[in-house]
Amino acid sequence: EAARKIASVGGRVFTESFIAEKMEEAVRLVSDFTAANRLSWGMEREELRSRLEIEFVPLLELIVERGINEGRMFAKDSLIRTGGGDRDLSAEDSAMLRDIENALEAAEYEFLSEEDLKDRVKATGDVRHYLKMLEEEEKAVRIIPGCYMHRSFYEKMLEKVKELLKNKDTMNVAEFKGLFSLSRKFAVPLLEHLDSKRYTVRVGNERKAGPAAGG
């Protein structure tokens, strides 16, 4: 019966049996990913589309929508998971996550590398999955590859830079260093990060407010 039924998706026609087959495959793939990556909220939609070998994006969206409506899949932004809308962390994982967040917060405006964090929390394994989780929960911000700052201090930094550039046209590295009591080791990568986010714009050796800061 399902083989004879058809569904129109984005101007194309697919049999319901084909859609059902892809649905089962999608649930299996996402379930396997969720089980193997307990600290990740879910699989990226693009990865699922690639592994299902679906080129037509509206078909993937239909499959995901049906999975959500049937309670077999859960979605957040570009991520998809099975088993429920929340991660089920062990006591050990929860403690490690808390220790890493506390270490980032204690560092204030000095971003920490993955190796710095491993040393500070005495982790024996990889901390990248914990950092990814903190990013997803908007508690950590990646400044440069492998280096992170606590979200609360990142937002304070943005506000202070914005306030400074309201009162004067430009800011140099020395002023930025003084504003946050930073060495050049931290100041230069942070300024380059702000440039990349269009919060500041470099003009010679100075920075002015960028579009993201109302410049």
Give pLDDT, residue 191: 97
Q: Looking at residues 73-84, what average pLDDT do you find?
A: 92
Q: Using alpha carbons only, what angle is made at residue 29 by residues 24 and 35, rounded to the nearest 5 degrees?
A: 125
Task: Using the predicted structure, report yes or no on whether residue 88 has a pLDDT greater than 80.
Answer: no
Task: Using the predicted structure, report yes or no on whether residue 5 has a pLDDT greater than 60.
Answer: yes
User: What is this structure's pTM?
Assistant: 0.73
Longest dimension (CA), the chain: 73
For residue 102, report the phi and psi dihedrals to the nearest 5 degrees: -65, -40
Architecture of domain 153-213: Orthogonal Bundle (1.10)
Return the HEC string of 32-44: HHHHHCCCCCCEE
Q: Looking at residues 74-79, what average pLDDT do you find?
A: 92
Ramachandran bin of 81, using left for φ above 0, alpha for ψ from -120 to 50, beta for the remaining angles: beta
Q: How far apart are CA 140 and CA 92, in angstroms?
A: 20
Amino acid letter for position 29 = L
Q: How far apart are CA 184 and CA 132, in angstroms?
A: 27
For the segment(s) 6-81, the CATH number from 1.10.10.10, 3.40.50.2020, 1.10.274.10, 3.30.470.10 is 1.10.10.10
Give pLDDT, residue 120: 96
Q: What is the pLDDT of residues 122-132, one digit of tens each?
A: 998 889 989 99
